[in-house]
Amino acid sequence: MAFTEISRNKAFGGHLVKYQHSSEELQCDMKFNVFLPKESAEGQAVPGIYFLSGLTCTEDNFIQKSGALAEAAKHGVALIAPDTSPRGVSIEGDNDSWDFGTGAGFYLDATEPKWAKHYRMYSYIVEELPSLVHNQLPIDESRISIMGHSMGGHGALTIYMRNPTKYKTVSAFSPIANPINCPWGQKAFSNYLGKDESTWKQYDTIELIKSHMNEKLDVLVDVGTADGFLENQLKVTALQQAVHELGRDSEWNIRFQDGYDHSYFFISTFIADHINHHVKSLKA
């Protein structure tokens, strides 16, 4: 299956390209952005970082606001930025609230009949999108990693932990670290996955740490101490405690950044650290 080029802009010696394709997993048309550094035009396949965005975002927010293109260009790394949910589907209630439905796919595969046909963002990110990207673009499938913000931080961490041989490393800004125990996660999971809370654990970072004790992880997490969602929604303190109790502090670099909030000003401040974190593994 091919995708269609929608736009192309030169940036930092490379190109930012927006593509559109018909998704079999999501049963709708989807758009995504790819930054291809100049090295990709020289006949070599480059490493790539997938970025998963947060609630209400599209494929554009990270690309336009984070400052990541300059850092990726510096290291000759591609960036792949998909959308956050299916688009243009007709499901009653999918546009009723900002934290569920459109713009809020939560990077899971829905099982409730109302949502199961279209809301399959986990399989889209892990299987379908990479099959397109790595078959048709000069991005090395053996050297990829994943990162994200907020809902996308949740997605990046859980996808990495469930597929540790697929991704070299992971990082997250302000992740929803324990969605089964926060309002955002409980609302999404109960609707997408149903009332059986045992099925929710496969999409919860803290629960996955407990069940994936054999894999050696490499994780960077940043969260701002002035993030208004820190205590009620993100539960990063609970993540830090779980990591410590399980004796895995050496695998998780969890940093509380003084005075920073949930915004892209925070992300742009520390994006160089995160790109460097990924480059160390991608170019090892």
Please give the DSSP secondary-structure letter assigned to residue 41: G
Distance CA 68, CA 11 (A): 11
Instruction: Judge whether 180 and 210 are in contact, CB under 8 Å.
Output: no
274 as an active site residue: the answer is no
227 as an active site residue: the answer is yes
40, 85, 150, 174: which one is catalytic?
150
Distance CA 45, CA 23 (A): 25
Phi and psi at residue 50, in whole multiples of 5°?
A: -85, 135
Residue written as token pair 């609302």: 187
227, 274, 277, 278: which one is catalytic?
227
198 as an active site residue: the answer is no
Residue written as token pair 């892209």: 264
| Strand extents, DSSP E, 95-175 | 139-149, 170-173
118, 262, 274, 278: which one is catalytic?
262
| Strand extents, DSSP E, the chain | 4-11, 14-23, 28-36, 46-52, 78-82, 139-149, 170-173, 219-224, 252-257
Q: Which residues are catalytic?
A: 150, 227, 262
